Structure formats: C-alpha cells, structure tokens
Amino acid sequence: MKKIGLALGGGGARGFAHIPILETLDRFGVKPCVISGTSIGAIIGALYASGKSGSQIRAIIDSLHISREKGIRDAVHKAPNLIRGMGFVRPEISRGGLVNVDRFLKSLIDDIGVETFEELEIPLYAISTCFWRGDEMAINSGKLFPAIKASMAIPGVFAPVKHDGHILVDGGLVNNVPYDVIQDQCDVTIAIDIAPIRLPSKNTVPGVMDAALGMFDMMVERVMTDKRKKKEADIYIECGIKDVRVLEFNKIDDVYEQSQTAVKELERQLKLKGFVQHS
C-alpha cells in the first residue's frame, strides 16, 4: 500500500474548499499518513489529523456559519456557537494586526480535542514564516494553538505570533501549498491549492484592504509558481475559487459550490493513479 501525503494550501475563506476534498478522500478510503498545511490549511489539517472525518469537519464549520438559505432561523439555532467564535473580529491594532483570532481558533482547538501535535492521530506540519529571517518554519511538535495561529498571521491583518523564540507570520509568504515538506515521508503527495482566480470588478480601483490582500495573493502565487517549476506534487489540484476574498467567511456556500470542479478532478486523478477503481 502506497503512503499518501496531503498538503492543504492557505487562502482564508477559500480554504473551506478543503472540506469537500477531504470528504472525497474519505469516500474512496484514501487516508494520508502525514499532513502539511498553511494558514486555513493548517486549521483544517489539524481537525482532520485529530481523527475527524471530512463530514464531521463540515458539521463543525457549519455550526459557526449562518446558511444563506435558512437565514434568521439558522442564526437563532446556532447562536451559542456563533457567540463562542465572535472573538475572530476583535480589533488588535496595537500588536500589529487588525483582528484577533484567539477565541475563534480556541473554539476550533476545543473541537480538535487535543492540545499538542503529539496527540494527533496523523502527523501534522503547520507552516509559518520567521519574520526576521524570512525563512520557512515547519512546526510539527509542541502546542497546536500558537503554531496554527502563526501559520495564518497575514502581515497587517493578523498580529504576528511569538513562538519558541521566533516572531512568526503567515506561512503563505514562503510556502502556501507545502507538499515538499512531506515528500520524503510518503510515496504520493496530494496538494490542494486554493489560490483565487482574480476577475476585474466594476470598481477598477480596489480599497486599501482589498489591495493589500490582493498583493499578498499575487506574491503567494509567484512563490508557488517558482516552487512548482523545481519540484511538483504527484497530484496537484487547483480549486480556482472566484469572487471570494480572504476574509469573506460568509461565502462558505459559494466555496462549497465552486469546489465541485476540483472534487471531480481529484476523483479523476485518483483513478488515474490507481487509488480508485474505475466505475
């Protein structure tokens, strides 16, 4: 049996596309022996590495989300879960970021059910960037919370994280889809890229936040393009999510819908590689 490594890319709200991907792996009995993740990929990766199925992760995330179809009834039903995650939008300008994610992340850590990497069922690498050296930090031991928080600390949006003597920021700056981190531990690597497809908007001049996050996305894509020229994953899935910004967590339904093309491509690739029998 071939050992499979799974790399989940960063991209904020677009990262909910990872969930249908995980459900697809579950449906075909494809279980990774190691996982790496950047930013939202580290969060979803930690949930999966803890033993949660793709459908269980969907249920956890959906408990913090108001469905556009169900509206106010959904909001009332989910009020306790929404309240426990509301710290996600607390300002934290004094520490170098616009929002604080502690309460949101802690609510997910509670759902993970463990506090350290060592307690996970599947080994996990959370990717962040050392701010002062500018190099990659692939953390796979110790406390989960600070490592995951560091992995998603987009400069100027989320505050940098001090961890083990380092000042850490978002891993997307150096390795947004970290399949290379785990290639020596598996036979086949599956990489899931949630980089956006940018389309011109009616307002041709973006606002300050859109411009900053857009430039971040462009830089991340350039780094990944250069990396892929040197070494490619065995299966590389580009989700191609359109019109969903990094912080638009209210568009989860749109992300689920748009991810279906990536799901079909993953199924095709798994069959091509012999992991799934052709129907």
In this predicted model, what pLDDT tens digit does every residue of 15-53 receive, in sequence order? Answer: 999 999 999 999 999 999 999 999 999 999 999 999 999
What integer is the mean pLDDT of 76-89?
39
Per-residue model confidence as pLDDT tens digits over 219-261: 788 888 888 888 999 999 999 999 898 878 889 999 999 999 9
pLDDT > 90 in the chain, percent: 56
Give yes or no for a contact between 160 and 169, defined as CB atoms under 8 angstroms apart. yes
Torsion of CA 110, 115, 121, 125, to 10 degrees: 110
What is the Cα Rg of the chain in Å? 18
Q: How many CB atoms within 10 Å of residue 211?
A: 11
Predicted confidence (pLDDT) at residue 270 exceeds the cutoff of 50: yes
- Closest C-alpha to 126, from 192, 44, 193: 44
Mean residue pLDDT across the chain: 83
User: Choosing from 36, 39, 107, 128, which is the catalytic residue?
Assistant: 39
Find the catalytic residue in 50, 62, 128, 170.
170
User: Beta partners for 163?
Assistant: 166
**Per-residue pLDDT at 62:** 85
> What tokens appear for 37 in the block?
């993740």
Which residue in the block uniquely carries the two structure tokens 């919370």? 145
Is position 170 annotated as part of the catalytic site? yes
Q: Which residues pair with 196 in a beta bridge?
A: 241
pLDDT, residue 217, reads 79
Q: Is 39 a catalytic residue?
A: yes
- 159 Cβ contact partners less than 8 Å away, ≥ 6 residues apart: 92, 95, 96, 97, 100, 153
pLDDT digits over 167-197, tens only?
999 999 999 999 999 999 999 999 999 988 7
* More confident of the two residues 98 and 56: 56
Strands 90-91 and 99-100 turn out to be: antiparallel
Other Cβ atoms closer than 10 A to 91: 10
Q: Which two tokens stand for residue 41?
A: 């990929």
Phi and psi at residue 25, in whole multiples of 5°? Answer: -60, -45
Residue 275 has a pLDDT of 80
The string of pLDDT tens digits covering residues 55-79 is 999 998 888 764 445 444 443 344 3
pLDDT tens string 123-168: 999 999 999 999 999 999 999 999 999 999 988 778 899 999 999 9
